[in-house]
Amino acid sequence: MATKTQTKTPRTERRMDALSKERIVEAAIKILDTDGESALTFRALAARLATGSGAIYWHVADKSELLAAATDEVVARVMTGVVSGAEPREAIRAIALGVFDAIDAHPWAGAQLFREPWRPAMLQILEGIGGRLRALGVPERAQFDAASALVNYVLGVAGQNAANARLVPPGTDRATFLGAVAARWAQLDPSEYSFVRQVATQLREHDDREQFLAGIDLILAGIGTLREDAR
């Protein structure tokens, strides 16, 4: 319940192995990355940090905050690396790809992006994309809708990736997984699911990353049509 009270900045380090929110989040990210979302328990975390579960609560309010902080961390790493001088269109693609790759590397973060819309992770993505839309010359009235469309698309793909990662057994690779999904789709009733069946044949050889980028370009093309008829 009681959270860190931050009295005075201690001039000397407490201990070499002192707990801190940073160290806890770092350990959590490692557990999440290596053993998956379900492996992150306060007991496992306490064991890795060689402490008791109660001690963690001095630095972190609850598990929800821990997951949110871990997500903020991996997203922030990506957003700081985005080039700032680039052409707006390219910058948006770079931001989107950065988030995509971050979720690809840390699938557990995908589901967490949906959390509170005032968390740094979400804010940085929205600001990064929205700022570039402004630079692109999108009419001010349309900027909010356009940014919302891009962000929601990115979130959708992120959530999808997170879900897929949860589905793929740790050993198998993604080609096998896609093959399994394609096989299921191919078995559907042709009269009811003709489009899904058609797409199933393309599913095996498609590249997630390229398709994601194609979606971004599609939305950017749609945004491009706004410039002329400034309605």
What are the residues binding DNA (CB under 7 A)? Answer: 1, 4-5, 7-8, 10-12, 14-15, 18-19, 40-44, 49-55, 57-59, 62-64
Contact status, residue 112 vs residue 67, Cβ threshold 8 Å: yes
d(CA 41, CA 63): 8
| Residue placing its CB nearer to DNA in the complex, 53 or 143 | 53
Report 191-220 residues binding a copy of itself (CB under 8 A).
Answer: 192-196, 198-199, 202, 206, 211, 214-215, 217-220
CA distances from 51 to 19, 39, 43 (A): 9, 17, 9
How far from each other are the two terminal CA atoms of the chain, in whole angstroms?
53
d(CA 82, CA 98): 8
Binding partner of 9, given DNA, a copy of itself, none, CB within 5-8 angstroms per partner class: none
d(CA 76, CA 168): 27
CB of 87 to DNA, least distance (A): 44
Binding partner of 95, given DNA, a copy of itself, none, CB within 5-8 angstroms per partner class: none
CB of 42 to DNA, least distance (A): 4
The number of angstroms, rounded, from the C-alpha of 135 to the middle of its chain's C-alpha atoms is 24
- Residue from 13, 17, 116, 173 binding a copy of itself (CB under 8 A): 116
